[in-house]
A and B are shown apart, each in its own frame.
Chain A
Amino acid sequence: NAGVTQTPKFQVLKTGQSMTLQCAQDMNHEYMSWYRQDPGMGLRLIHYSVGAGITDQGEVPNGYNVSRSTTEDFPLRLLSAAPSQTSVYFCASSPQGDSYEQYFGPGTRLTVT
């Protein structure tokens, strides 16, 4: 199994540009999540999904959209990039959200200038 994969690994955007961060998992996990990690802070939940067709907002959802058309894929869209969205983004999956281990992808480092 490849586990959780994320692309791209690095990205530089200009303010106002849009892009999609890709996340895929091959473990048939129902739960998938997107987090951002900023220096000196814990990971913060952006959006999550408990299954195909079901998504919900996390702690910091503004400026981001998600969709879950398949169990495997959970893309994160930045609608109009802002410097405040400069961060490292992690995708995670788990069989269930609470009691089971979360598996994280390698991350995408995004810089918005």
Chain B
Amino acid sequence: KNQVEQSPQSLIILEGKNCTLQCNYTVSPFSNLRWYKQDTGRGPVSLTIMTFSENTKSNGRYTATLDADTKQSSLHITASQLSDSASYICVVSADYGQNFVFGPGTRLSVLP
């Protein structure tokens, strides 16, 4: 069964610190992997999209990595800000149609 798992479930860090969120997937065939940021009460917003051949992609202070061999991805947030408090969702697309498999998300809280 296609699945996406994320860890940790929740994370609390202090403003200015770095953190790394993990995503493991068992989706086949693989097309691409996406990271979304979802603020409370809002819809998800895309951060990065990586295909099979891409190992890393950055969007400002957000850097995503992908290891297609081990089926793992990570999202690294540098110099966290209060506005980074949100849920971060890993999504893997299978190579057909609208088959996006969403992870449950990691809830990040950045404290002053």
Q: Are B95 and A98 in contact (CB under 8 A)?
A: yes
CB-CB under 8 A from A102, the residues of chain B are 34, 46, 100
Q: Are B32 and A42 in contact (CB under 8 A)?
A: no
Chain B residue nearest to A6 (CB atoms) is B43
Least Cβ distance of B20 to chain A in Å?
Answer: 20
Q: Given A42-B101, A43-B102 in contact, is the A107-B31 Cβ separation under 8 Å? A: no
Interface centre among B32, B41, B44 (most CB of A within 10 A): B44
Instruction: Classify chain A: how many residues form its interface, as a range.
Output: 20 to 34
Q: Are B104 and A40 in contact (CB under 8 A)?
A: yes
Q: Mark A92-106, 1 if CB is under 8 A from B, else 0.
A: 100001110111111
Q: Mark A34-58, 1 if CB is under 8 A from B, else 0.
A: 0100001111110010100000101
B11 in the interface (beta carbon within 8 A):
no
A90 in the interface (beta carbon within 8 A):
yes
Q: Are B42 and A42 in contact (CB under 8 A)?
A: no
The 6 closest A-B pairs by CB, nearest first: A42-B102, A104-B43, A43-B102, A48-B98, A101-B46, A97-B98
A42-B4, A97-B97, A103-B46 are known; give 20 further A-B pairs, CB within 8 A: A4-B43, A42-B103, A42-B104, A43-B44, A43-B102, A56-B97, A90-B44, A97-B98, A98-B31, A98-B93, A99-B31, A99-B51, A101-B49, A102-B100, A104-B44, A105-B43, A106-B41, A106-B42, A107-B41, A107-B43
A-side residues, CB < 8 A to B, are 4, 31, 33, 35, 40-45, 48, 50, 56, 58, 90, 92, 97-99, 101-107
